[in-house]
Amino acid sequence: MSQVKLAIVYYSMTGTNYKMAQIAKKAAEAAGAEVRVRRVQELAPEEVIQGVEPWKKHVEETQHVAVAQPEDLDWADAILFSMPTRFGNVPSQIKQFVDIMGPLWAQGKLANKCVSAMTSAQNPHGGQEQTILQLYTSMYHWGAIVVAPGYTDQALFAAGGNPYGTSVTTREDGTITPEEQEAIRVQTRRLLQVAQWLKTGQQASQPVGTAR
């Protein structure tokens, strides 16, 4: 059985989504996937970042993480996005990365990628569902296959029951609860499972466009 290649693409201002990406990475590797964790390019002015100590500290501590490139999505069978909500919408950093995928999209290289998304906010009703749905709109244009966790595991209920993707409530101490961590693992494994089904089916079937 072919190994699934997973790209985890995240944006994190103070570290929550970076931690979520790391939890997903460990779960994916335990499931046998090949994983790339990539951060999107920071777009905020340096003077703004310097003025918020937790933001500045996180940026400095994660310089070792490679910046996401179009090639990472071309390489991947599955893509997991992790991002904070911004006024109920996708952060501009993630949106800019999505928006420059035009050349890949034009070549059909984003079609049939399995995609899922996670998010965070400072409170339980801070626009998490809407943020994920806004990202999924772009995925439909790509022709990607959206793999939502739904209510496929009891762990998802314990973490708040967001059927679109795991939601984490940001805390001052940066902790992610055991329930939220398990929901991330469940969502990651489900994404890999669907990607494996698709990859296996593609290998077994006749190539698209060939005569029958």
Residue type, 209: G
- Domain residue limits at 195: 5-204
Q: pLDDT, tens digit, for every residue of 77-134?
A: 999 999 999 998 999 999 999 999 999 999 999 999 999 999 998 877 778 999 999 9
Q: Is residue 209 part of a domain?
A: no
Q: Which residues contact 168 (CB under 8 A, 6 or more apart)?
A: 16, 20, 118, 119, 120, 176, 180
What's the pLDDT tens digit per position in 35-67? 999 999 999 898 888 888 888 888 889 999 999
pLDDT digits (tens, 9 = 90+) for 174-210: 789 999 999 999 999 999 999 999 998 865 554 544 3
Higher pLDDT, 209 or 147: 147
Domain for residue 29, yes or no?
yes
pLDDT at 211: 37
One-letter identity of residue 24: A
pLDDT at 143 over 90: yes
CATH number of the domain bearing residue 65: 3.40.50.360
Can you tell me the distance from the alpha carbon of 129 to that of 86, in angstroms, rounded to the nearest whole number? 12
Please state the domain count of the chain: 1
**Which pTM value belongs to this model?**
0.92
Distance between CA atoms of residues 29 and 114, nearest Å: 17
